[in-house]
Structure 1
Amino acid sequence: MDGFKNIEIKNFRGIDHLKIDDFSRVNILLGQNSSGKSSVLECLLLMMGMSNPDLPQTINSIRSRNYSSFADLGYMFHNYNLNVKPETSSVLFDDTKRHLSLELTYVFDEKSQPDLQNGQIPTSETKTFLNTLKMLFDVEAGQHKSTHECSLTVNQQGLISNKKLAEGYLEKNSVAFLSSDLAAGNPANDLVELAKRRLKDTVIEQLRHFDSRITTLEILNNVAYVGLEGINQLLAVNMQGDGLRRYLNIVAASANPMNNILLIDEIENGLHYSAYKKLWEAIFALATTTNKQVFVTTHSKETLSHLNEMLEEHPEYQQGMRLYTLAKTPIKGHQAYKYTFEGLSGACENDVELRGLV
């Protein structure tokens, strides 16, 4: 299985320092509001997209559910302190080590300074704003260590004037990120890949757990349609309500073998509690079949209860589950408290609160 053994985060958003060890196949992140659950998912995404300088702004746009400007990248810096770089480190299951840092700086760019002529050297007065995001990263495999840099530069109107990619680096992993925004996400790419591999029936089988009337699933003009018993035409999934759309997005991304890592933020959004158990079963089964790693955040106690029920019925998945409660403590700062299946089962049996420290 490709993926993360651990991750260490420094000075990213609201996290001053956090280390999480012993990741497994399916990892669930709990915690109170602003405990850093979504930030951990974002760091995992950045670690697998280190060579993509567009990614930080894309992540901000997902979080804001709207357009995100270049200036908003400052929100990725802890306490908006642009002098302290956000840093993320991890060890992968193949023992490769990764380290990434972000830097907002000024870089003179002739494309963004057309008024400077005849080789004029920019003065301090020219440096009016931070115009460049740099992603500085290194990869260490055994005795070999490579260092890379990619960057994005904008002009004073916020438009991209220069983009530099990391030369000589090719990312082998593919990550799918499903945000908490129910209006976002389109399963079309996953479904097309599954159709090419003749795996679409796998998704249809899982969808029938959600609605037993579903008979077929098609992609037309980049839109997902389902066929229902008793209805003589296909129906657009987007018109069937949040629940089916959310369920399909998760199942399709889980089934797609091209996704090495799957990140799901607030898995319960849009779903009735009656769907939780079957969805958990689908995630574990498909993650095992496709040999992928999954990270999930949730606020729902019912979600955990149904996860526990599913794991009791499927002991083959129990060792592949890790659960972490994230909390910012007064003395030690951000901490991650780990639970295995036994801890989850005991908490459910004794009605112990795992979603956050009170």
Structure 2
Amino acid sequence: MRKFTLALSLAALLPMASQAQRYLGIANSNWSGTNGVYLNPANLGDSRHKFTIDLFSVNVGINNSLTKIQAYDAVNGLLSDDSANLGKYIIPSGNDKFNILAMGEVRGPGAMISLGAKHGIAITTRVRSMFQFNDFNSVLAKNLLDNEYAPTSTNKFKSDAFNWTQNTWAEVGLSYGGVIYEKEKHAVKGGITLRYLKGVGYTAITSDNLDGEYQTTQTDPILRIYNTNLHYGTAGISVGSGLDASKITDYFTAKNTGGGVGADLGFVYEFRPKYKDNLYDMDNKTGIMDRSKPSYKLRISAAVTDIGSINYKTGNKVINFANKTSAPADIKGSELANRVNDYQSLVSYLDSRGIAGDSGTGTQKTKLKLPTMLMIGADYHAVKNLY
């Protein structure tokens, strides 16, 4: 089965592709099934589905500031099975710092069932991967990510606190949603999702300071580091070269990785000015709501998703890097990029270049927080079937 290169896949994740895969046109509706659970678990309440089963789907997306995505080249690279790196398609705009949060997920088997007219439960499974730069220096990023990067002149940089994180995990979620208030024109629904998180693997770099310059005076350009204080950690299965679709089940059963608990919490408000049009009488009962018809004029959704964290402890490797002496350390960008996901290879390489590390293998744990988000949406019934 084809192996999807993580860097290339995330580079090609355009915002419009992300929205299409999230089914935003229906994900906040009463017909969303399990698709709406990922945005707001309250969508399970008053669902028009009695029972649904999910088999497989893929969702990808990227959020960034101060960068430009070469969308056309990224898509062509993905379709041609090009193994090019992330930096080839994500170009900093020239500002000193920028942020990127790219995510990809494979949604596995899942199901939802309605418990009467007002309540519902669901079980979902996913494998997710997150790639994040925070306050990252643009020159350093190009050097790390693009093996073909060759500036025409010397570029000096001074980077203060920043972090880079790559985290992949599997999860199993149990969700509940229901109508908690319903009277005439107004209805409120609430929902919660609890997830067991299975950490697959992570790599993280945080920096207190990093001063250097990119030298182009030689045939093979180098990154010259004058002063640095970096903290590096890694554990679990290395997925830096890509997510292998044939090993999805292995990510759920992998031993000696990380674990944790996550949650989503959400509410939905519906304004129903014409609620009387949906009422009918039958079998000596009056005022029965016909839930097969559209019920709201305005619908507002609010949810906090991905509350929680993953703890990596067993096999966790943590190390602090700093210049050995006052002399600068010369590093080749392509050599560093090839080793950043391999702990022992990275330590040996940096030591040979004048950057020493003090480490404690298997003696520390690392907590990685989930990418918590506040999701707010609105759905307005304009005319007939137009929302």
Fold equivalence (TM over 0.5): no
Pair member with larger Rg: 2
* Structure number with higher relative contact order (C-alpha < 8 Å, ≥ 6 residues apart): 1
Which TM-score applies when normalising by structure 1? 0.25
Larger % of strand: which? 2
